[in-house]
Structure 1
Amino acid sequence: MKREHYTYLLLILFVFVAANKPTNVYSKLTDRQKAGKKVYTKGIGTTNIKITANMSGVNVPATIMTCVNCHNAKGTGNPEGGITPSNITWESLTKSYGGKRQDGKNRPAYTEKTLRKVITTGIDPAGNQLHSVMPKYNMSREDIDNLIAYLKVIGEDNVQGVTPIAIKIGFALPGSINSENARAVKKIVNAYTTEINNTGGIYNRKLTPVFYENKTNINDDDVFMLTGFDDSFKVNVDEDLLIPALLSYSKTTVPNGFNNKNVFYLHPSLVAQNMSLVTFSKKKKFTKEETSPSILFYDDETRKHTAKKIEEKYRKEFNTTPFITAINEHNINEIVKNKTIKTGTTLHFIGPHYIGHKLLIALNEAGKFPYIFLSGSISSINVFNIPKAFKNNVFIGYPSWISEKTVSGIKKYDYLKNKYSLEYKWKGNQLDALTMLLTIEECLKRIGQDLTQELFIEELENLYEFPTGLIQPITYTPNKRVGNATMYITSYDSVSEQMNLITTINSRE
């Protein structure tokens, strides 16, 4: 009877502790904790005071020396080079009996006050100086309070967009959500995730796509990561995004240092794609010193930015001043009259197909046959209606080409197309969507059940020549955010009515 009584008491105690223990599974962070997590993982605060780290008397941006680099995503510390960073989880820091340093010295339990002091001065509650490898941070009171609020739940906070049964992935659709293009892409995303989920998902978690169009604030949404097309955003993902992202390509240049280490791309940026055409023109000597190139762009923000970058490249590398102007349906004939545009010169067109087609007709009627260069990702013309006088004069750059598609890659797409009646018209964007999803699936499987956004970024950085069978094998590194830097330069033969691959150019992104 006595044993049964003790067993009953233990059961009561267990239930009481379980009921009163703070939940640590998939609970949402408060706004302060979110801000603190940004300080911890990015070194970025919410005030005008830039956070800096002082190392041996030298101040550097905290973005270079983030807390997470040494203490890891769970706050337990990454041993490296004979140094074991402290366990900075709230439970460890505030134990009633204190803690012991690596040098054997004891310290009392931390309070919020002493934690603020050690972060900014490097002196612990016992008055001991921390190891010299630990920077001293300068930040506003608001930022340090936010950081402490996050440390109270680090290791216990949820992984955004992940539950025991699902992984929510934000998908940025191309164009408006009701456009044919967007509907076609949405259909292949749903087809792919259905196939994955019907076979058990990723470690028993189903992939749940959340579709976006013209989204301005993604960070507040409960999604694990973002994928899709950069042109769907009014927000600058290169600078503002806090979650991992794998996108088709960037609208602007992807610098070697990159503005946001969370963001990866399949293809070179729109700027780099067009720069590759300039490089090709120079290599083939289409651009001559005695002539000036022409740059005609449809007047939207992205195309104008690209045109300006091409102009800068010509000024810098060719010491020439291009003729650059906006083009629309109403000023085509006036532009064609410009003396800079003539047979044998180079002309970069950055605009939609209906304007491109009218431009070629106007040039043909004026008896002017310049070399035409355009990137297939941002510009287009109706190649099947190119005037025959432009035979081999039109060069189109693409970030992928049919020669890179393998039998297994084509089978993957054809299986989904036939089973789910996919629309063939928007095949290019569908293939990009499928490539991104295959890459995401590979990384999620490599990580396993214990999924975090930090681990996902690490796995992307470790991808080396990963074959999707749809584009060239993908490689990322800690300093490389474009998976495939190759541009394919093609030409349309208006006589044989065929697209021919001329050469490849390394975009160097």
Structure 2
Amino acid sequence: MALLAALAALAAPAAAVDLTPQERAGKRIYLQGESASGGEISALIGRDDLALPATSMPCGSCHGEDGLGRAEGGARPPTIIWSELVKPYGHVHPGGRKHPRYDASSFARSVKEGLDPAGNALDPTMPRYRMSAGDLASLAAYLRRLEEDRDPGVGETELRVGTLLPAAGPAAGAGRAMSAALEARLAEVNATGGVNGRRVKLVVEGYDPAGGAAAAVAGARRLLERGQVLAVVSGFFPSAEQEVFALAAKAEVPIVGPFTLFASQPESPNPWVFHLLSGVREQARALAEFAAGRLGPERPPVAVLSPAGPPGAGLADAASAAKVQLARRGFAAIESVAYGPAQLGPSLARDLAAKGVRAVIFLGDDADVARLAEAARVAAWTPDLLLPGALVARAALEVPPALEGHVFLAYPTLPTDEKPDGRARLATLAAHGTSGHRAVVIQADGAAAVLLEALRRTGRRVSRRALVASLEALYELDVGLLPPLTFGPSRRVGALGAYVVAVDLKERTFRPVGGWQGVE
């Protein structure tokens, strides 16, 4: 029985090491070059002691999160895990430098003065660090635990990833379909040996959408704090997206491919959240790009309309992004309207027509589109209506006939993105109970494919930060059902842009126009 218990413990995913406050402070110094106490830490470079903030050269940037060192630019930073530093027989380095084992005093000297226990100078590429005695003690304390400090969800034989899905109400069916799609993808990779010798296990955390944002946030907390997961894959929590993303950033947990209408690429994106497809914000930017090509060099007046009030907060951000994109393309006359439903009448249409507005980027729902289109009919005004497809379903097909040839929608993906093997995959997923939920299933399956590829590239030395680095290195990744996906250090939307389609009111169909509108 004791042997079985030992084997079970070996196979189980490792829990995060319970670091003391001092050790956590040392980890922050090691990985980020920041003092938990707010003290100044500087890195001194070269003979002239050029001082730089340690945040630009933290220990982990060269020695690695695991302390094992990484060859870079001809230099090979040594292993600095504590068991290696204190080997009783000392060290002989490749260049012939010899010294006895480190102790607390000689370690402090090496950090501050760049000298080993024998008084030899360390490699000249190694900075010396100026920090308080307390910070130095914290750094040493963390190095003593570094070897056993493994991120949650990383075991010898298993990796745990999680997802947050609705478990009740009208959205429960979509949640079950997404869970089935994720389980199917992981089962396939596990059947062939897993990822770099580890099986991947999915932890599903459910919540009741009837509880609003608070229920989704509580579910996210359970998943991040008790679920012991390396990363979150896919997920659907429309009432609490920003709150969940903020929790992930605080806990430094990657989220890959959440299903959301508001995936965006702001100037300073959340570094822990990777979106597959553009949301309303980037679709609005793509529509601005399309308008620039369609309206020509004269750049006539255009309008950007979005709902007023708190419910339209995400759409107001999309409207702002569209205006910036238009200004970049040379549009000077941009009418901006934050409207209430009562404003979408003939008087607004006549006012915009009098100002010469020839195109409207409109960020409203079906009911608002119908109101604006009817107002345009009454005012005998026929502008181009440019609509994010994520917000509009039927109304674009039901506008007055006078707008024939003037209605365009942006979509982050089209059926043409689906490769033959991708379509075959949809049929396979349908056998797992995903029928009727095509959009969310495609996203969930794509998110799983992206995560697994990034884990494969990370290798055996898996950590959350290493996984983020692997995700950032993905370029033109083809997952079969989506446009090619590319990420980067400052890019968090894989397919950054949208297709624009024209609405054929007579045939009640869409036809692609203009190809892919990138918004890099």
Please tell me the TM-score bracket, short chain as reference: 0.7 to 0.9
Unaligned stretches of 5+ in structure 2? 7-11, 207-215
Please name the residue that 1:7 is paired with.
none
CA shift for structure 1 position 310: 2.3
CA deviation string 1:215-236 (max 9, x = no partner): 6767645211123369623144
Counterpart among 457, 463, 466 of residue 477 in structure 2: 466
Tell me the SS of whatever aligns to 1:187. Answer: helix
Counterpart check, 1:184 vs 2:184: no
Taking a change above 3 Å as real, the CA distance of residues 114 and 268 of structure 1, as seen in their structure-2 partners, is farther
CA shift for structure 1 position 75: 0.9
CA shift for structure 1 position 26: 1.8
Task: Map 1:193-212; keep pairs closer than 5 Å.
Answer: 193-194=183-184, 196-197=186-187, 200=191, 202=194, 203=197, 205-211=199-205
CA deviation string 1:280-315 (max 9, x = no partner): 101111695453423334543321122122233444
Counterpart check, 1:274 vs 2:268: no
Task: Map 1:488-503; keep pairs closer than 5 Å.
Answer: 488-503=499-514
Equivalent pair of 1:351/1:380 in contact (CA under 8 Å):
no
Equivalent pair of 1:241/1:262 in contact (CA under 8 Å):
no
Q: Note the aligned Cα RMSD (angstroms).
A: 3.8
Instruction: Please give the alpha-carbon distance, in whole angstroms, between the structure 2 residues aligned to 1:353 and 1:304.
Output: 17
Tell me the SS of whatever aligns to 2:368. Answer: helix
Counterpart check, 1:227 vs 2:233: yes
Taking a change above 3 Å as real, the CA distance of residues 474 and 183 of structure 1, as seen in their structure-2 partners, is same
Task: Map 1:217-366; keep pairs closer than 5 Å.
Answer: 220=225, 222-228=228-234, 232-234=241-243, 235-236=245-246, 240=250, 242-247=252-257, 251-255=263-267, 262-268=272-278, 270-285=280-295, 288-299=298-309, 300-318=312-330, 320-333=332-345, 336-337=348-349, 339-341=351-353, 345-366=358-379
Instruction: Please give the alpha-carbon distance, in whole angstroms, between the structure 2 residues aligned to 1:261 and 1:210.
Output: 23
Taking a change above 3 Å as real, the CA distance of residues 291 and 457 of structure 1, as seen in their structure-2 partners, is closer
Equivalent pair of 2:305/2:336 in contact (CA under 8 Å):
yes
CA deviation string 1:107-155 (max 9, x = no partner): 4543445534533443444444432211234556665554433322223
Equivalent pair of 1:51/1:137 in contact (CA under 8 Å):
yes
CA shift for structure 1 position 274: 1.7
With the length of structure 2 as denominator, give the TM-score of the two structures: 0.78
Please name the residue that 1:432 is paired with.
443
Instruction: Please give the alpha-carbon distance, in whole angstroms, between the structure 1 residues aligned to 2:264 and 2:135.
Output: 31
Instruction: Please give the alpha-carbon distance, in whole angstroms, between the structure 2 residues aligned to 1:483 and 1:388.
Output: 37
Taking a change above 3 Å as real, the CA distance of residues 398 and 46 of structure 1, as seen in their structure-2 partners, is farther
Please name the residue that 2:496 is paired with.
485
Instruction: Please give the alpha-carbon distance, in whole angstroms, between the structure 2 residues aligned to 1:440 and 1:310.
Output: 31
Aligned-partner residue type, residue 507 of structure 1? G
Counterpart check, 1:30 vs 2:18: yes
Taking a change above 3 Å as real, the CA distance of residues 92 and 319 of structure 1, as seen in their structure-2 partners, is same
Taking a change above 3 Å as real, the CA distance of residues 51 and 243 of structure 1, as seen in their structure-2 partners, is farther
Instruction: Please give the alpha-carbon distance, in whole angstroms, between the structure 2 residues aligned to 1:185 and 1:205.
Output: 23
Unaligned stretches of 5+ in structure 1? 1-14, 19-23
Aligned-partner residue type, residue 232 of structure 2? L
With the length of structure 1 as denominator, give the TM-score of the two structures: 0.80
Task: Map 1:348-497; keep pairs closer than 5 Å.
Answer: 348-377=361-390, 382-424=395-437, 427-445=438-456, 451-476=462-487, 481-497=492-508
Equivalent pair of 1:71/1:87 in contact (CA under 8 Å):
yes
Taking a change above 3 Å as real, the CA distance of residues 421 and 375 of structure 1, as seen in their structure-2 partners, is closer
Counterpart among 22, 38, 43 of residue 53 in structure 1: 43
Equivalent pair of 1:350/1:379 in contact (CA under 8 Å):
no
Taking a change above 3 Å as real, the CA distance of residues 246 and 38 of structure 1, as seen in their structure-2 partners, is farther
Instruction: Please give the alpha-carbon distance, in whole angstroms, between the structure 2 residues aligned to 1:119 and 1:263.
Output: 35
Instruction: Please give the alpha-carbon distance, in whole angstroms, between the structure 2 residues aligned to 1:355 and 1:43.
Output: 51
Instruction: Please give the alpha-carbon distance, in whole angstroms, between the structure 2 residues aligned to 1:50 and 1:496.
Output: 68
Taking a change above 3 Å as real, the CA distance of residues 180 and 136 of structure 1, as seen in their structure-2 partners, is farther
CA shift for structure 1 position 470: 0.4
Tell me the SS of whatever aligns to 2:495. Answer: coil
Taking a change above 3 Å as real, the CA distance of residues 129 and 324 of structure 1, as seen in their structure-2 partners, is same
Equivalent pair of 1:169/1:209 in contact (CA under 8 Å):
yes
Instruction: Please give the alpha-carbon distance, in whole angstroms, between the structure 2 residues aligned to 1:419 and 1:500.
Output: 32
Instruction: Please give the alpha-carbon distance, in whole angstroms, between the structure 2 residues aligned to 1:337 and 1:81.
Output: 62
CA shift for structure 1 position 452: 3.6
Equivalent pair of 1:287/1:293 in contact (CA under 8 Å):
no
Taking a change above 3 Å as real, the CA distance of residues 143 and 165 of structure 1, as seen in their structure-2 partners, is same
Tell me the SS of whatever aligns to 1:159. Answer: coil
Tell me whether 408-417 or 297-306 shows the greater mean CA deviation.
297-306
Please name the residue that 2:83 is paired with.
91
Taking a change above 3 Å as real, the CA distance of residues 476 and 85 of structure 1, as seen in their structure-2 partners, is same
